[in-house]
Amino acid sequence: MKKMLMLLILAVSLQAIIDEEKPCGHAHSGNSLSKVAVSSAEQQKIDIHYYKLYFDMNIFVRSMRCEFQIDLSVLDTSLQTIELDYSTYNLGVDNITVREVVLNGDTVAFSHNNDLISIPIIDSLELGEMMTVLIYSHTGSIADEKRTDNQGFNWDKAREGVYTNSQPYDARDWWPSVDYPRDKADSLDMVVRINDHLIVASNGRLDSTVDIDDGYKTWHWHVGYPIATYLVSLSIYDFYEWNDVYVDENNNSLPILFYTYTPPENPSPWYMTQNYRLLPEMMTLYAGQFGPYPFMDEKYGHAEWGENYGMEHQTLTSMGDPTERRVAHELAHMWFGDMITCNSYHDIWLNEGFATYAEALWWEHRYGISGYKEKMASFEYYGTGTIYVEDPETQSIFTWSLSYAKAAWVLHMLRGVVGDETFFEILQTYAADLRFKHKTATTAQFQMVCEDVSGIDLDSFFQQWIYGSLYPKYQVIWSQANNELSVEINQFGTVFDMPVDLRISSNTTIIDTVVRIDQQTMSFTHELADGELVSSLVLDRDDWVLNTASYTVGVENDESMTPHTFKLDQNYPNPFNPSTTIPYSLGEDGNVRLRVFDVEGREVIELMNSWQSSGQYRTNWNSFDHTGKAAEAGVYFYKLEAGSNTAIKKLVLLR
């Protein structure tokens, strides 16, 4: 048996908090709540233009010398102190030592406390004045006892290596910066001198590599596009390199680079042959839907790292467990998250919701409309909370159910409201808008683009879905008396204003219409032809609105009415993946309980336990729970109990 070696991770951010977000296929480190979520007043008086990061590393004794250059301009002449975020817990080592700070060529006084380098300004300033800060620091050796569970893992034939993970506020853990997404540097240079058996992968394009006679090699990566601090990355390992190519509609070629841990005896791992190979087709799809790939002068690629999720580091995603949806998700971030970055983490949904919805777009392209619907069904969330993160300093910004899943439903519903052609015009207009392209954006600014392109006032849409909580809960009550159909639609709880498809089915025809439901109770009548008998009414038949609906139905003929009876119908579709609808009817008012059990008789989920009036109903079971965890494929039973009545039927879940 081959010996398993420990891979030491030299450069990591703080302890990863990845509870709810793991199922999204794109988890991150936690909020780092010990760090403030809002930049200081002094930091908001400067604009960062350029970073140069130089690291001189010795992988064997685990030591490092650092040199940093920061070019900035003055936004407010009342600036008294240049403040740069820089942790004393740096690259896994306590007590980083800052040796010297140089401002505009002069060595200056500074302080380094509470993860902040403060450089006093003595001279008067002019608006727009450019300044250059040089910072020199170093670490001692990294002792073995610094290895912790999240800083290392077992890997066959592993060698020592380095990777970084900086979202949301952890870039400061390895270089001095204004560590907030609002201040994107215009460009960046990453220069690493390290032992020559290692490969250094980073953002942008590889400018040069220089072999040095003393067993070292210097790597220089240049980033020519604006970049947020949390998107800067280093991946250093004795990688195996792979490549592919993407050719755009203008016949321009873009290299796709892969840095993997794959040993040479297994040159074709499953993820290379099954998922990575899809990237050129994915890029073609997204370029058609969003606009040209944003970094055509540089590259795209994946670098494996010591985590089991993905992180959209600009032009070089850090990739663990490269499932198909994760590959699609991280690629989509190059447009939404990297090219256009949320201005603050209040609006993280502009990154994560867009990339999650892009998974559904890929599923629609590859697996058809049924694949798209299944993917959207897996994102359904019927819980509380707002997509807008009201307090990023204390709330999780990576809540799967809100920032990812429900946010993807917002885009799905927007598509339903404005129509396909306008929806994709919105995405392309947003991506091409020079106010946001390679800059940042807020929800209000995205809403503005949506309204400009569609010509529709979408204020209530964004207010209820982004800043509000929950979802519409509809009750449809209808009856037929001779040639007149009477319909009443009620909303329980929060009243939403949404256009909702309504299908009326009868023995002679099917009528599809759209009803704007914007009140607690709405009623209308519809004239029927002689001999026409309505058989059903269905709201939102194609699932364009995140909602629940129940139905109470009575068919009246003069003075007679057909009463309801207790009945549990077969779910549809069956077999299903990932969601199915369970219809049932009640003959009398009372408490109703609907549960799903596995073949061992263990309760899997309780779908209903509440008082309901007599009538017809339908309930949805999404086999993904609120955290995104999926039920296993197999046979299940669903049981309906109402008063003394009980019924059980079988359903089959496929994967």
CATH code of residue 110: 2.60.40.1730
pLDDT band for position 553 (cuts 50, 70, 90): confident
Q: How much is the mean pLDDT over the chain? A: 87
Q: What is the helix (H) or strand (E) element at residue 622, kind and residue range? A: strand 615-622
- Report the candidate in 364, 367, 473, 475 with the shortest Cα–Cα distance to residue 411: 364
Three-class SS state of 437: coil
376: phi then psi, degrees, rounded to nearest 5: -65, -35
Q: Residue 379's pLDDT is what?
A: 95
Percent pLDDT > 90 in the chain is: 68
pLDDT, mean of residues 147-153: 30
Does residue 147 carry a pLDDT above 50? Answer: no
pLDDT band for position 29 (cuts 50, 70, 90): very low
Percent pLDDT > 70 in the chain is: 86
Does residue 6 carry a pLDDT above 80? Answer: no
Higher pLDDT, 434 or 581: 434
Q: Residue 448's pLDDT is what?
A: 98
State the Cα–Cα distance between residues 342 and 337, nearest whole angstrom: 7
Same domain, 10 and 90: yes
DSSP 145: G
Find which of 77-91, 174-188, 254-268 is predicted with most confidence, using mean pLDDT: 174-188
Q: Cβ contacts of residue 167 below 8 Å, gap of 6+?
A: 13, 28, 29, 230, 231, 311
CATH number at residue 646: 2.60.40.1930
Task: Report yes or no: 180 and 224 within 8 Å, Cβ to Cβ.
Answer: no
| CB atoms near residue 45 (< 10 Å) | 20
pTM for this entry? 0.83
From 520, 542, 562, the end of a domain falls on 562
- Report the candidate in 17, 244, 49 with the shortest Cα–Cα distance to residue 130: 49
pLDDT, mean of residues 610-614: 84
Three-class SS state of 119: strand
| 525 located within any domain | yes
pLDDT, mean of residues 467-480: 93
Q: Residue 95's pLDDT is what?
A: 59
Same domain, 535 and 596: no
Same domain, 649 and 541: no
Bridge partners (DSSP) of residue 85 are 116, 177
Q: Residue 445's pLDDT is what?
A: 98
From 535, 562, 589, the end of a domain falls on 562
Percentages helix, strand, coil for the chain, rounded to the nearest 5? 20, 40, 40
Of 281-295, 449-463, 545-559, least confident by mean pLDDT is 545-559
Same domain, 90 and 235: yes
Does residue 151 carry a pLDDT above 50? Answer: no
State the Cα–Cα distance between residues 374 and 359, nearest whole angstrom: 11
Same domain, 525 and 579: no
| 557 located within any domain | yes
pLDDT band for position 20 (cuts 50, 70, 90): very low
Q: What is the helix (H) or strand (E) element at residue 324, kind and residue range? A: helix 324-332
Does residue 32 carry a pLDDT above 50? Answer: no
Same domain, 10 and 81: yes
User: What token pair was written down for 34?
Assistant: 């010990």
| 395 located within any domain | no
| 503 located within any domain | yes
| 577 located within any domain | yes
Task: Report yes or no: 315 and 333 within 8 Å, Cβ to Cβ.
Answer: no
Does residue 154 carry a pLDDT above 60? Answer: no
- Report the candidate in 554, 553, 555, 581 with the shortest Cα–Cα distance to residue 569: 581
Q: Residue 580's pLDDT is what?
A: 87
Concatenating the DSSP letter of every residue in 37-76 gives: SS--TTGGGEEEEEEEEEEEEETTTTEEEEEEEEEEEES-
Query: Which region holds residue 593: left if phi is over 0, alpha if psi is between -120 and 50, else beta?
Result: beta
pLDDT, mean of residues 58-62: 74
- Residue 468 C-alpha from the chain's centroid: 19
Query: Which region holds residue 328: left if phi is over 0, alpha if psi is between -120 and 50, else beta?
Result: alpha
| 379 located within any domain | no
pLDDT band for position 554 (cuts 50, 70, 90): low
Same domain, 553 and 599: no
pLDDT in tens, 433-459: 999 999 999 999 999 999 999 999 999
Of 65-69, 414-418, 614-618, least confident by mean pLDDT is 614-618
Task: Report yes or no: 203 and 232 within 8 Å, Cβ to Cβ.
Answer: yes
State the Cα–Cα distance between residues 385 and 379, nearest whole angstrom: 15
Taking CA atoms, 587 is separated from 613, 617, 619, 644, in Å, by: 9, 12, 17, 12
State the Cα–Cα distance between residues 336 and 403, nearest whole angstrom: 14
| 464 located within any domain | no
pLDDT in tens, 188-241: 999 999 999 999 999 999 999 999 878 999 999 999 999 999 999 999 998 989
pLDDT, mean of residues 531-553: 91
Give the count of domains, the chain.
3
pLDDT band for position 267 (cuts 50, 70, 90): low
Same domain, 203 and 161: yes
Taking CA atoms, 119 is separated from 44, 129, 511, in Å, by: 15, 16, 71
Same domain, 635 and 521: no
pLDDT, mean of residues 568-597: 89
Q: Residue 87's pLDDT is what?
A: 85
CATH number at residue 551: 2.60.40.1840
Does residue 334 carry a pLDDT above 90? Answer: yes
Same domain, 531 and 591: no
Q: Residue 25's pLDDT is what?
A: 41
- Report the candidate in 556, 557, 472 with the shortest Cα–Cα distance to residue 515: 472
Q: Residue 263's pLDDT is what?
A: 66
Tell me the residue range of the domain where 576 lies. 565-655
State the Cα–Cα distance between residues 353 and 411, nearest whole angstrom: 8
- Report the candidate in 443, 448, 334, 321 with the shortest Cα–Cα distance to residue 386: 443
pLDDT band for position 140 (cuts 50, 70, 90): low
- Report the candidate in 394, 330, 335, 398 with the shortest Cα–Cα distance to residue 167: 398
| 287 located within any domain | no
Q: Cβ contacts of residue 620 below 8 Å, gap of 6+?
A: 380, 548, 579, 580, 581, 582
- Report the candidate in 312, 340, 343, 352 with the shortest Cα–Cα distance to residue 37: 343
Same domain, 517 and 624: no
pLDDT in tens, 500-522: 999 999 999 999 999 999 999 99
From 562, 597, 632, the end of a domain falls on 562
pLDDT in tens, 337-363: 999 999 999 999 999 999 999 999 999
Of 3-17, 84-98, 631-645, least confident by mean pLDDT is 3-17
Of 144-148, 285-289, 290-294, 431-435, least confident by mean pLDDT is 144-148
pLDDT, mean of residues 317-336: 96
Same domain, 116 and 51: yes
